[in-house]
Amino acid sequence: MTARRQFLLLPALLAALPSCAQPVAAPRTAVAATPALEIGPDGLNQGGLALGRVAPGSRVTLDGKPVQVAPDGRFAIGFGRDAGPQARLAATALGGATETRELAIAKRDWDVQRLTGLPQAMVSPNAQQLVRINAERKRLAAVRAVNSDLPFFAEPFIWPARARISGVYGSQRILNGEPRAPHLGLDIAAPTGTPVAAMGGGRVLLAMPLYFTGNTVILDHGHGVTTLYAHLSAIDVREGEAVQQGQRIGAVGATGRVTGPHLHLGLSWLSTALDPAPVLPTM
């Protein structure tokens, strides 16, 4: 599995665009250059993060919604666990020409995971606990709405810790015999105290204890791409802090809703939870 998505370019089309340093007035009869929209097949599936590229200055939309584009033309899009079979990606060049792609989003099959022995308060919280949970959900929604211009979203990610995989993305969860929301992350069953490293460079958006995920860190890598590190025994960074790839941000623990120590690793594109496994190198 590749470490990260590959960008493909159309050199001839890009070379045909006017240079910013030497503006060229187009003749009245000229046809506007196409935006040279390119996106590879990786990530075009349920739970997938896909990276693409357009001519600098182009505008991009996914199903009619704007997508942030970096100055060099790179962009990221994501598809949730239950994404439909098709999506429409469009790019409009500075000259006004639009190129559209109908994307086929591959369907995936999901496991069923049964967990027992959880404290009942972690399965069916009471009214007071629900007040806290709802407040935390609002905070998480605000964090995941961040759409910064940081460039790290397009760089290869690394494993934050290496150990046995005990839970995968998309699994239908049965907790103490009760159906609950699907598992939207990757569980790494490392011992308590194992160092946790930043998957990529970025900025700390959140570093605090939460009801379900315990001690939690969320990093912003730019363009709506964030990673989440949960159930930590220690948090070693502060909100607003810039971090480098590989920097220690905490340690594996068993805080929050767990049956044992592990790192729950999450990946999101804005509010859409994605599968971290495909963007990581082979273990």
**Average pLDDT estimate for 73-81:** 97
Most confident of 9-23, 100-114, 120-134: 100-114
Can you tell me the mean pLDDT for 191-199? 98
The structural domains of the chain, with segments of one domain joined by +, span: 11-104, 112-279
Question: Are 205 and 143 spatial neighbours (Cβ–Cβ below 8 Å)?
Answer: yes
- Across 16-34, b (16+ Cβ under 10 Å) vs e yields ebeeeeeeeeeeeeeeebb
Work out the average pLDDT over 49-57.
95
Task: Determine the pLDDT at residue 164.
Answer: 95
Q: Does the pLDDT value for residue 156 go beyond 90?
A: yes
CA 166/CA 241 separation, integer angstroms? 30
The percent of residues in the chain predicted with pLDDT above 90, rounded, is: 71
What's the pLDDT score for residue 110?
A: 87
In this predicted structure, what is the pLDDT of residue 259?
84
Count CA atoms within 13 Å of residue 233 on its CB side: 14
Order the strands of the 172-175 sheet from edge to edge: 112-115, 172-175, 178-180
**Residue 148 pLDDT exceeds 70:** yes
Please report, for residues 51, 67, 76, the alpha-carbon distance to residue 92 in angstroms, rounded to integers and kept in the order given.
17, 12, 16
Per-residue pLDDT reduced to its tens digit, 219-266: 999 999 999 999 999 999 999 999 999 999 999 999 998 889 999 999
Calculate the average pLDDT of the chain.
86
Centroid of chain to Cα 42? 14
Q: What percent of the chain has pLDDT over 70?
A: 81
CATH of 112-279, one of 2.70.70.10, 3.40.50.920, 1.10.3720.10, 3.40.50.620: 2.70.70.10
Mean pLDDT (whole number) for 275-283: 94
CB atoms within 10 A of CB 283: 11
- For residue 54, give the nearest of 41, 77, 71, 78 by alpha carbon: 71
Identical fold at 11-104 and 112-279? no
* Structure token digits, residue 2: 């590749």
Q: What is the pLDDT of residues 12-38, one digit of tens each?
A: 333 333 343 444 444 433 444 557 899
Q: Examine the pLDDT at 75 and tell me if it is beyond 90.
A: yes
pLDDT at 36: 81
* Residue 6 reports pLDDT greater than 70: no
Q: Provide CATH code, domain 11-104.
A: 2.60.40.10
pLDDT band at 157 (very low <50, low <70, confident <90, very high): very high
Average pLDDT over residues 130-147: 95
Which tops the pLDDT comparison, 48 or 33?
48
